[in-house]
Amino acid sequence: MLTLIYQGGPFRHDKDGAVFGNRERLLPASARAYYREYTIRTPGERSRGARRIVCGGLQPAAPEACFYTDDHYASFRKIVP
């Protein structure tokens, strides 16, 4: 998925690349529309499931930092390139 993010897509889900509001305030504070979210396929799920990558940066295809959540935004782990 990181490769697709850096390429700018194409993404499997319509909401991939949508602005992530960081309402939970678990990621570093930033300007509005800084973060974007992407779906990570969850085996056995028919919907998008709970797994996401959230990346932040001024340009979506050149993120400054990415984070992974497997519990639908309850916690995040920074992805180290």
pLDDT at residue 21 tops 80: yes
pTM: 0.92
pLDDT tens by residue, 42-80: 888 888 899 999 999 999 899 999 999 999 999 999 998
Of 24, 37, 45, 64, the active-site residue reads 37
Of 24, 45, 64, 72, the active-site residue reads 72
Helices (H), 1-81: 2-7
Residue 24 catalytic? no
pLDDT at residue 81 tops 80: no
Q: Cα–chain-centroid distance for residue 3?
A: 13
Q: What is the pLDDT of residue 78?
A: 97
Is it true that the peptide bond before 10 is cis, omega within 30 degrees of 0?
yes
Measure the CA–CA gap between 5 and 37, rounded to whole angstroms. 10
Q: What is the DSSP letter of 1?
A: -
Measure the CA–CA gap between 9 and 18, rounded to whole angstroms. 12
Residue 37 catalytic? yes
Report, as an integer, the average pLDDT of 8-25.
94
Q: Cα–chain-centroid distance for residue 12?
A: 13
Q: What is the pLDDT of residue 43?
A: 84
Written out in words, the top-level CATH class of the domain with range 1-81 is alpha beta
